[in-house]
Chain A
Amino acid sequence: MTREPAAHGPGRVEPSRQTTPPVGSTGGSALVVEHLTKRFGDRLAFDDVSFEVGYGEVFGFLGPNGAGKTTAVRTLGTLIAPTSGSAQVAGVDLCPENGPTIRSRISIMPESPGLYPRLTVAENLECFARLYRVADRHERIERALRAVDLAERAGDLCRSLSKGLRQRVALARALLSDPAVLFLDEPTAGLDPVASREVHELIAALKDRGVTIFLTTHRLEEAERLCDRVAILNTAIQLVGRPDELRARLFTRTLEIRLRSELADPAAVFSGLGGIVGWATSAADSYLLTVADDPDRAAPEVARALVHAGADICSIVEARHSLEDVYLELIDEDVEARKR
Chain B
Amino acid sequence: MKFSWSRVIAIVQKEFRDYRRNRFVIATMAATPVLFLLLPMIQLIAANTAGNTAHLSLRIGLSLLYMLIIPVTVPSAVSAYSVVGEREQGTLEPVLTTPIHREELLIGKALAAFIPTLLIAYAVFGIFLAAATAFAHPAIASAITTAAHVLVQLLFTPLLAGWAIWVGIAVSARSTDVRAAQQLSVLASFPPLVIVALMSLNVIGESVTLAIGLGAALLAVDLLAWRFVAAMFDGEWLLTGSRG
Residues of A that sit less than 8 Å from B by CB: 38-41, 43, 71, 74, 77, 79-83, 100-101, 103-104, 107-108, 110, 112-119, 123, 127-128, 130-133, 157, 170, 173, 177
In contact, B244 and A38 (Cβ under 8 angstroms)? yes
Name A77's contact: one of B21, B97, B100, B242 (CB within 8 Å). Answer: B97
In contact, A131 and B7 (Cβ under 8 angstroms)? yes
In contact, A128 and B244 (Cβ under 8 angstroms)? no
Interchain nearest-CB distance for A152 vs B (Å): 21
In contact, B242 and A40 (Cβ under 8 angstroms)? yes
In contact, A110 and B97 (Cβ under 8 angstroms)? yes
Name B100's contact: one of A41, A131, A170 (CB within 8 Å). Answer: A131
In contact, A110 and B94 (Cβ under 8 angstroms)? yes
In contact, B240 and A71 (Cβ under 8 angstroms)? yes
In the bound assembly, the distance between CA atoms of A39 and B243 in angstroms comes to: 9
Q: How many residues of B contact A (CB 8 A)?
A: 34
In contact, B96 and A133 (Cβ under 8 angstroms)? no
Residue numbers in B under 8 Å from A77 (CB-CB): 97
In the bound assembly, the distance between CA atoms of A196 and B242 in angstroms comes to: 31
Interchain nearest-CB distance for B3 vs A (Å): 10
In the bound assembly, the distance between CA atoms of A118 and B90 in angstroms comes to: 13
In the bound assembly, the distance between CA atoms of A123 and B89 in angstroms comes to: 17
Question: Is B239 in contact with chain A by the CB < 8 A criterion?
Answer: yes
Extra A-B contacts (17), CB below 8 Å, given A100-B101, A114-B89: A40-B242, A41-B242, A80-B236, A82-B244, A103-B99, A104-B1, A108-B94, A110-B94, A114-B90, A114-B93, A118-B18, A119-B14, A119-B18, A127-B10, A130-B13, A131-B100, A170-B94
* B1-34 near A? 1/0 per residue, CB < 8 Å: 1001011011101100110111000000000000
In contact, B93 and A103 (Cβ under 8 angstroms)? no
Name A116's contact: one of B91, B98, B242 (CB within 8 Å). Answer: B91
* B100-143 near A? 1/0 per residue, CB < 8 Å: 11000000000000000000000000000000000000000000
Residue numbers in B under 8 Å from A116 (CB-CB): 14, 17-18, 89, 91
* B80-96 near A? 1/0 per residue, CB < 8 Å: 00000000011111111
Interchain nearest-CB distance for B61 vs A (Å): 40
Interchain nearest-CB distance for B218 vs A (Å): 32
In contact, A39 and B6 (Cβ under 8 angstroms)? no
In contact, A112 and B90 (Cβ under 8 angstroms)? yes
Residue numbers in B under 8 Å from A107 (CB-CB): 97
Which A residue sits closest to B239, measured CB to CB?
A79
In contact, A118 and B22 (Cβ under 8 angstroms)? yes
Residue numbers in A under 8 Å from B6 (CB-CB): 130, 133
In contact, B240 and A80 (Cβ under 8 angstroms)? yes
Interchain nearest-CB distance for B16 vs A (Å): 10
Residues of B that sit less than 8 Å from A by CB: 1, 4, 6-7, 9-11, 13-14, 17-18, 20-22, 89-101, 235-236, 239-240, 242-244
> Count the A-B residue pairs with Cβ separation under 8 angstroms: how many?
104
In contact, A101 and B239 (Cβ under 8 angstroms)? no
In contact, A110 and B101 (Cβ under 8 angstroms)? no
Residue numbers in B under 8 Å from A157 (CB-CB): 21
In the bound assembly, the distance between CA atoms of A323 and B93 in angstroms comes to: 31
In the bound assembly, the distance between CA atoms of A74 and B94 in angstroms comes to: 11
Residue among B4, B94, B95, B235 with the highest chain A CB neighbour number at 10 A: B94
Known: A81-B236, A115-B91, A119-B17. A132 touches B99 (CB 8 A): yes
Interchain nearest-CB distance for A299 vs B (Å): 51
In contact, B235 and A173 (Cβ under 8 angstroms)? no
In contact, B98 and A128 (Cβ under 8 angstroms)? yes
Task: Report, nearest first, the 10 A-B pairs whose CB atoms are least far apart.
Answer: A130-B10, A40-B242, A131-B98, A104-B99, A118-B21, A100-B1, A108-B97, A114-B94, A100-B99, A112-B90
Name B93's contact: one of A79, A83, A104 (CB within 8 Å). Answer: A79
Q: What are 5 A-to-B residue pairs whose CB atoms are below 8 Å? A: A39-B244, A71-B240, A80-B239, A108-B94, A127-B10
Residue numbers in B under 8 Å from A40 (CB-CB): 240, 242-244
Name B91's contact: one of A83, A114, A131 (CB within 8 Å). Answer: A114
Which B residue sits closest to A131, measured CB to CB?
B98
Interchain nearest-CB distance for A160 vs B (Å): 12
Residue numbers in B under 8 Å from A39 (CB-CB): 244
Residue numbers in B under 8 Å from A128 (CB-CB): 94, 98
Residue numbers in A under 8 Å from B94 (CB-CB): 108, 110, 114-115, 128, 170, 173
Known: A114-B90, A118-B18. A127 touches B244 (CB 8 A): no
